[in-house]
Amino acid sequence: MPTFRYLLATTSLVASVLAAQTPIAPVVTVLHAAKLWDGTGAAPITDAVVVVTGDQITAVGPASKVSIPSGALRLDLGSATLVPGFIDAHVHLIGRPLSDPGSDLQVVKDYQSYGAILGVAHARSTLLAGFTSVRNVGAPNFDDIALRHAIDADQVAGPRMEVAGHAIGITGGHCDQNAYKPGLEDRDYRDGVADGPEEGRKAVRYQIKYGADVIKICASGGVLSEGDAVNASEYTLDEMKAIVDEARKLGRKVAAHAHGAEAIKFAVQAGVASIEHGSFLDEEGAKMMVAHGTYLVPTLSAGEFVENAAKSGRLKGFRAQKGLAAAQAMRNAIKLAVRSNIPIALGTDAAVGEHGANAREFRLMVDWGGMSATQALIAGTSNAAKLLGWQERVGTLEANKLADIVAVPGDPTSDITVTEHPVFVMKGGKIYKAPGGVQTELDRPDQHRPVSAAGVSQDF
């Protein structure tokens, strides 16, 4: 009997080892829908399929021309249109949104980890809204980097993230914490407050040391900060040049919060990759952006939100005045940008407005900016992917790209509002939202995977 037990145990062990050494074939999924828009700007194709193998797209096209592998899981999405996963190039997933009454005091009242916990919920809402990639342009305590790690490790559900760490700005400027008594919120380059070229370089190095993929600077004042004019220039041209140069040497792009016309021009001259907001853009600035290939990330959703908050009385005083002025200017700026052929990437500034309502930006691009539905869709897919430097991975539905795929009810090239109601969301070949009866990652009991022993607390 002992010999039998030994042989049984040995056989089981060998079988386990052999099974571990045998590669598991990736799951093949075939998505079928009435239409497909691939993100390149080409017209939609009808009766379309996408073949997904593992986490990648392996074939795209009309059903009559695509070979369907035997044994594939087939999912028919009926009258929907398949589109690339949407990309929001300007979000703040960490912390309270402005609509939360406690947002003004969160920096002094909330526990340090509270904002990160809220970020988990915001990431999930964003993903389920069809946004499979985001650029998070500023968060305290490197919480955005922690969230990125958790999402990449499949510990929580959310979009893939490009992150900035702390946004960098001048003492008392838009990226600083103002309106508190002296000594309560005094910050330095480690928290993103840096004055002069050398401190700016140091701040860049510090953000990158702790995992920043992109650098965010505040070139001008802002709407929601206390004490600074929204169109005031804050960093000098020399300071911005030093920051951009340091980021470039370390392989990072720079995004510049810039409302005012002068700040926009300084930032473009300094070599930033994108202007965030760009509310008071003028003709000269538009020409400079075209010449330098600088993107505009217009964040019209934030403009709409602060305008409504000011009109309702929720936003008061100087901030209400700034909100009304910026929102009105944004309507002119986006029209000028479209007319000038400035490259535009979708960004919402989610946290100013609601998380999960990101697709409303598509509608505002059409309504405020006069963009065609196709132009707006490109801004939120292939253009945004280029700005993030991810165009080889996402942004279009093509073979060998990551399987980030969304289905919307109807044709978004004729009715842009259908982007606000996705019926299917896939990220990296995993289904997170689907019609009834289809199991998603969020339905699986093992969706939250256990951490390795190296990450387990020793308290037990």
Q: ∠ CA(83), CA(366), CA(283), 5° rounding? A: 120
Region of 246 please: left (phi>0), alpha (psi -120 to 50) or beta: alpha
What does the buried/exposed string (b/e) look like for 343-365 if buried means 16 or more CB atoms within 10 Å of the residue's CB? bbbbbbbbbbbbbbbbbbbbbbb
Number of neighbours of residue 60 by Cβ within 10 angstroms: 23
Which positions are catalytic?
216, 349
Residues 123, 319: Cα–Cα separation, whole Å? 28
Q: Could you tell me whether strands 45-53 and 56-62 are parallel, antiparallel, or unpaired per DSSP bridges?
A: antiparallel
Number of H helices and number of E strands within the chain? 13, 15
Whole-angstrom Cα distance, residue 343 to residue 298? 11
The total number of residues shown for the chain amounts to 460
Beta bridge pairs of residue 406: 83, 425
The pairing of strands 254-258 and 274-277 is parallel
Distances (CA, A) of 435 to 356, 407, 425: 19, 10, 10
Alpha-helical regions (H) of 141-213: 143-152, 196-209
Residue pair 323/329 in contact (Cβ under 8 Å)? The answer is no
Kindly write down the DSSP assignment for every residue of 429-453, as one continuous string: TEEEE-STT---GGG-TT-SPPPPG
DSSP classification of residue 114: H
Query: What's the token pair of residue 444?
Result: 């699986």
CA distances from 423 to 261, 331, 452 (A): 41, 31, 34
DSSP code for 191: G
3-state helix, strand, coil in the chain (%, to 5): 40, 20, 45
How many CA atoms lie less than 13 Å away from 78 in the CB half-sphere?
Answer: 8
